[in-house]
Every structure is written in C-alpha cells, then in structure tokens.
Chain A
Amino acid sequence: MEPITTFSGTCVVLPIENIDTDQIIPARFLKATDKQGMGDHLFADWRYDEGGQPKPDFVLNQPEAQRAQILIGGHNFGCGSSREHAPWALQGFGFRAVISTYFADIFRNNALKVGLLPLMVAPEAHGQIIALCTADPGAQLTVDLDAQQVLLPDGTAVSFPIDPFAKYCLLNGVDQLGFLLSQDDAIAQYEDQHTARVTTVLH
C-alpha cells in the first residue's frame, strides 16, 4: 500500500445524516468478484435516473466533483452493511477521505484497511467546513495525517482522532495482514494451548 502523509484537494458536500452503505453502493452491484469499476456505481440510485443517465442536479455529477478528493457527509456516515465495496466505490470515484462527525464501526475499519481516511471532526467544525465548501466549491482543504489535522484555507486547523496503529500503517504503507502474519509464533502457541472449539468438518 502507498504511504499516505498529506494531501490537498477540493470537496464534495453531501450533508445528509446516516448515509448507509446501501446508498453508497446498492447491493445489485455486489455480484462482482473483483474491485474494478466500483466508482461508477457510487451513490448509483441518487446519481442516475431510471434510464441510467446522470441526474444533473446531483452533486457527484457536477464537473467540480470529478476532481474532488474529499467527501463531506452528514452525521453518522457508513451505517448498515459490512460491504467493503463502499470504501472501494468511494476510492474508485477518486475520494481519499470522508469527513463526518462520526462513522459506523465497520465502515471505519474497512476504510482504514484500504487507505480511505475516515476523518471524524467535532460538530461545530463539521458545520464550519460544510458552510465553507458550499460557499466556495473551489476551496482546498489539506489533510495532514501525521499531525491529525484538516487545514482550512484560512489557516484554521481542525483535529481528528485516529487509531494509532492504523495511522502508523497508513503513514508507512504497512499492510495489516503483513503484521498479523508476523505474529505466527504467538498464534501457533495459542493454538497449541487451546484445542479448536469447533470443527466444520463432520467425521
């Protein structure tokens, strides 16, 4: 995985509460066996009309959205299904971070695993960022992962929490599976001391 340190970009503002993963990518697109083309299905039911044509008034269909790197959602982003297709679709569209006041647990975990930053900010700062990016769609935000800050154009720094291990992995491009594989001795020792609690093979 590519290390992530800092990046700057414009935002798409979608300040709807409780955006669930069925909206981020509807289930009918989950029949794929790879990750290709997920970005085309991002928010499909909000983005396309019955004929499959882009709805011009939906934010993702505005020309500015094509270059955006950050999605600003409403409170409680990513609830519902555990589909990792949701962060894949967001990344596929070009997003590198999502800003909300809080994230559903599974979505946050999935996002961190694939290098999409879930940036949890305080409600006042959230409101401020929405107002700013709505008034000026060209406004650039800078995400500084090491400092755990989002920098606004006027110099204001908004901080966000992040799990220290996930941060370490993202900053250094370390993949978590590699770390788990390196724990092989400890896992083998655990298995020696505990007989399997169940077996799925019938004898």
Chain B
Amino acid sequence: MTTRPRTLFEKIWESHIVRPQTADTPAVLYIDLHLVHEVTSPQAFTQLRERGLSVRRPNQTIATMDHSTPTTPRGLDGLIPILDPQAGAQLAQLERNCLDFGIPLFKLGSDKQGIVHVIGPEQGLTQPGMTIVCGDSHTSTHGAFGALAFGIGTSEVAHVMATQCLLQNKPRTMEVRVDGQLQPGVTAKDIILAIIAKIGIGGGTGYVFEYTGSAIRALSMEERMTICNMSIEGGARAGMVAPDETTFSYIAGRPHAPQGADWERAVEQWRTLPTDEGATYDAAISLDAGTLRPMITYGTNPGMGMAIDQPVPDPEALGDPSQRAALDKALNYMGLQPGQQLLGKPVDVVFLGSCTNSRITDLRMAAHVLRGRKVAPNVRMLVVPGSQQVKQQAEAEGLRDIFVEAGAEWREAGCSMCIAMNEDKLEPGQYAVSTSNRNFEGRQGKGGRTFLASPLTAAATAIKGKITDARELV
C-alpha cells in the first residue's frame, strides 16, 4: 500500500496505467469511455477499415450527432430537415460507421441526441475516477465529475478505437483555487472567464487543472461543468473537480449509473478519489470569487476578457510588441476603440447555447431574467438546448414558453452557432453576445464578432438590445 499523499489526478492516472512511462516511451493509458461525433471520426474509421481493425470496446464507446446537425424546428413529419448535403453525407457516414463497428449512436431526431459533452453526464456515462476522451477539445467538461477527461485528435481517436488505450506522457498539475462567495448576478462562467483572463490562453499549457476551494464546492454540477469546459481555453487539456455529495446526487438514478449494491460500492470507491491532505501540485493559482464582477470578452481569444464595466484596454499600454500587435489586430477585427465602454454597445444576435452553457440550469437562469420581458427588436436571440433531454425538460418546466413569448427562437439541440457548421451563423460584421466558449475570428460565422459572457449577461443584453450588466435586472 502506498501512503504517499496523492492528488485526484495522480490517483486516476495511476489506476489506468497499462504500461508505465519509460525514458523512451510514453505510458500506455487505459480509456474507460470514448465519446464520438461526426466531425472528427470519419478519417479514424477509414484508418480502421484500411488496416482491417475492429473497435476493441464498442460498449465503452458512444456516438452522437451534434456539430453539423441543423437545429431548425422539426417539420410536420416530426423530422429535423437536413438541407446541407455535405452535412447530410457526414451524418450518414457516422451512422454507417456506428452500424459497421457496433457502436451505440444517439442519432439526429432521437430523444437522447445532443452535444457530446452534455449527453455523457446526462446519461450517467460520465462518472468519477474514469478516463474519458473524445475527438473534441471541450472533453475537459467531464472533469467536473472527478474524471480525467481530455480532447484528442483523429489519429488518437483511431488509437482508442483499436486498442482502448492512448500513449501519454504524464502532464503536470496545477491547483486553481477559488474561495469566497459569488455576488448576485455573478456566475460560474464569470469565474472561468476571470481565470483565463488572468493566466492567458497559453497559461495552462502542459497542465491538468484541479479546481478547489469553497467557491467551487458551492457550485452545482452544471456550473462545475461550465468551469471545467473552458479549461482548454486556458491551455489546459483537462480540468477536474473532486467528487462530493453534489456529484453523487447528480449521477444517482441516471440511465448508465451503477444501480443497487453496485451503486454503494461505486460511491465508496469514489470517496477515495479526492486529493489527499499534503499532496502537492506542480503549480498553483488562486482567485477570490467574492471580488468578481460579470465578465465579458472584448477581443478574439477567450483570454481577452475583463469585468463588464471596465474600458477596453489600450494596446499602447502593452510593453511587449508582439502582444501589442495581437491586441491591435483583435480590436481592429472587433471594431472597438481602446478605452471604449462595452456597456451600452448594441448587438445583433444573442446566442444561448453550447457545451459551456446549454444545460437546464443555464436555461433557467436566462429564463428568470426574460420572464415577462421582450427581446429588443434589433436583436435575434437563439436558444439552443444542449440536448433533447434538456429541451424536453425545459418545455415541461415552461421555460420554452418564456423564451418564445419574449421573442427568442427555440431550437433543436446541437452545437449550432457555437461553431457555425450548420445554418446558424453570424453575418459578416454582426455582433453577438454568446454563452459559448470561443470568440476566435469567424468562429460564429465568417466576419462575425463575438462577446463571450454568461447566460445572465446574454439574457439581459437581449432585452436591452445592447450589452447590459445583468445585475441591473436580477
């Protein structure tokens, strides 16, 4: 028995070693759950076919359709129409691949379909202590359950399909400690935007984050997912939160959760996962949640963020020429001036959705602000639930009616305007306040300009038609 104190990360890492790391070779790491979607998998399946390989553990693999699926309302036939032939071909290819290789699939139109990082937790597939991968960088989301979850590329998708393993060098760990109590109107999204603004988008490169502290403990699972989701935006491949009672009660009773005596055994084991007293991290940062204000981004990467009532920074104030050029380029793209206030700036679109903020609590938060109010006439607001299950629940709770009565569009589940692979995109030059995770140039449509913010800020902005501090309205 080892008595050395270990972090959450180390415990999971060590329990998944098939072959230890040596001076010459990375570790062979076992993967418990592989999530698959239509965009990053086709070429991996092709590789399997070319080499005559099968999927080693189809029953530890699950596929969904999310990135290129339309989110337009169903036709009279109850089907979601696919108008883009290329997207249609890609979706058909995934269906064929899943059939050929025996992989369970939540296809478009089924009642479990949704964004890959929404459905895993929702179905109880995401559990503490597991290793989870997906050909998608926001796989970090699942770390909210105390799992080691990270994004991989298509070559590695093929590796996991064929061997259920990955070659990995052990990453370093960083404790991201958030203590204190959030003020009203300030959310989990603001915590993570503040962290990324503080460390920069490369600040976590090479690290796995573990979020600790009283502010993290106080968050719901959905809020923890919002935070872990954007770990990659700080450069960290994975972010984790140690499992606790909040975690267990979220998982209990979900379709793939352990049942009966298995449940008791699982919880007992999950309780051993949190970082031991005295264990050390390779690096640490901290943040006081009590001092946070709602955050918004002003630039073209998620690290270019500030409190919503601050002025846009001035490139001239930056000493480093490369950073100055980067900020200059970003403000030029965004059509913003140094020193400008973003509060009061008119926007064209408000997008409520994405694997960061499309779960039931996110929709409730926004609906709370929108109840009995109207979306401003100059604004198009899209509400895109993260999954069919979220959609059904929101409809049952009456949230759909609140959104529709306010004048927002109520859509089918998918990635939608987070990535603009379907018809949901910004027009060149349009401004959007978006609850998604990336404000890169053109991310939400070629020439489109994105302000990342929380669901509260998004809802408040939709009502006023201009960037608004939600604290005025809640």
Q: Are A199 and B153 in contact (CB under 8 A)?
A: no
* A124 is an interface residue with CB less than 8 A from chain B: no
Neighbouring A residues of B25 by C-beta, 8 Å: 165, 179
Please give the distance in Å from B354's CB to the nearest CB on chain A: 13
Nearest-CB residue, chain B, relative to A22: B440
Docked Cα-Cα span, A76 to B203, in Å, equals: 10
> Chain B binding site: helix, strand, loop or mixed by DSSP?
loop
Q: Tell me which of A24-32, A63-71, A142-150 binds B.
A: A24-32
* A177 is an interface residue with CB less than 8 A from chain B: yes
Contact size range, B: 35 or more
Q: Are A22 and B443 in contact (CB under 8 A)?
A: yes
* A183 is an interface residue with CB less than 8 A from chain B: yes
List CB contacts (< 8 Å) of A169-203 with chain B. Answer: 176-177, 179-181, 183-184, 186-187, 189-191, 194, 196-202
Known: A31-B87, A165-B24. 6 other contacts (CB 8 A): A15-B322, A18-B201, A27-B420, A177-B158, A187-B28, A199-B256
Interface residues of B (CB under 8 A from A): 18-19, 23-26, 28, 30, 32-33, 39-40, 42-43, 46-47, 51, 53, 56-62, 67-68, 84, 86-87, 89-90, 93, 103-104, 125, 127, 129-130, 135-137, 151-156, 158-159, 162-167, 169, 171, 201-202, 205-206, 232, 235, 237, 255-256, 301, 303, 322-323, 325-326, 329, 419-421, 428, 438, 440-443, 446
Please give the distance in Å from B427's CB to the nearest CB on chain A: 12
Nearest-CB residue, chain B, relative to A83: B40
Task: Name B167's contact: one of A18, A35, A50, A165 (CB within 8 Å).
Answer: A165
Given A26-B442, A31-B421, A183-B163, A198:B155 Cβ within 8 A: no
Task: Name B205's contact: one of A26, A32, A50, A104 (CB within 8 Å).
Answer: A104
**7 nearest A-B pairs in the assembled complex, by CB-CB distance:** A110-B153, A33-B42, A113-B155, A84-B153, A82-B151, A84-B154, A17-B326
Task: Name A186's contact: one of B18, B23, B159, B419 (CB within 8 Å).
Answer: B18
Please give the distance in Å from A50's CB to the nearest CB on chain B: 8
Q: Are A187 and B87 in contact (CB under 8 A)?
A: no
Q: Are B93 and A181 in contact (CB under 8 A)?
A: no
Q: Are A22 and B46 in contact (CB under 8 A)?
A: no
Docked Cα-Cα span, A175 to B419, in Å, equals: 32
Task: Name B137's contact: one of A34, A80, A177, A194 (CB within 8 Å).
Answer: A80
Neighbouring B residues of A201 by C-beta, 8 Å: 59, 104
Task: Name A183's contact: one of B158, B165, B421 (CB within 8 Å).
Answer: B165
Task: Name A105's contact: one of B32, B158, B237 (CB within 8 Å).
Answer: B237
Q: Are B154 and A45 in contact (CB under 8 A)?
A: no
Nearest-CB residue, chain B, relative to A103: B205
Neighbouring B residues of A87 by C-beta, 8 Å: 153
Task: Name A16's contact: one of B18, B125, B329 (CB within 8 Å).
Answer: B329
List CB contacts (< 8 Å) of A86-121 with chain B. Answer: 87, 102, 104-106, 109-110, 113-114
Given A15-B322, A20-B440, A199-B60, A35:B104 Cβ within 8 A: no
How many A residues face the partner with a CB closer than 8 A?
60
* A57 is an interface residue with CB less than 8 A from chain B: no
Neighbouring B residues of A155 by C-beta, 8 Å: none
A sample of 17 inter-chain contacts (CB < 8 A) reads: A18-B301, A18-B326, A31-B89, A33-B89, A74-B322, A75-B202, A75-B322, A83-B39, A105-B171, A106-B152, A110-B153, A165-B26, A176-B155, A184-B163, A197-B32, A198-B130, A200-B62
Task: Name A35's contact: one of B43, B51, B89, B326 (CB within 8 Å).
Answer: B43
Neighbouring B residues of A6 by C-beta, 8 Å: none
Nearest-CB residue, chain B, relative to A46: B441
Output the residue of A20, A22, A27 with the most chain B CB within 10 A.
A27
Q: Are B235 and A105 in contact (CB under 8 A)?
A: yes
Q: Are B438 and A82 in contact (CB under 8 A)?
A: no
Output the residue of A28, A75, A110 with the most chain B CB within 10 A.
A28
Output the residue of A50, A82, A190, A202 with the most chain B CB within 10 A.
A82
Task: Name A102's contact: one of B56, B153, B205 (CB within 8 Å).
Answer: B205
Docked Cα-Cα span, A106 to B67, in Å, equals: 19
Neighbouring B residues of A181 by C-beta, 8 Å: 53, 162-163
Neighbouring A residues of B61 by C-beta, 8 Å: 200
Please give the distance in Å from B432's CB to the nearest CB on chain A: 15
Q: Are A23 and B42 in contact (CB under 8 A)?
A: no
Please give the distance in Å from A94's CB to the nearest CB on chain B: 20
Neighbouring A residues of B153 by C-beta, 8 Å: 82-84, 87, 106, 109-110, 113
Nearest-CB residue, chain B, relative to A176: B167
Docked Cα-Cα span, A22 to B448, in Å, equals: 13
* A79 is an interface residue with CB less than 8 A from chain B: yes
Docked Cα-Cα span, A186 to B169, in Å, equals: 18
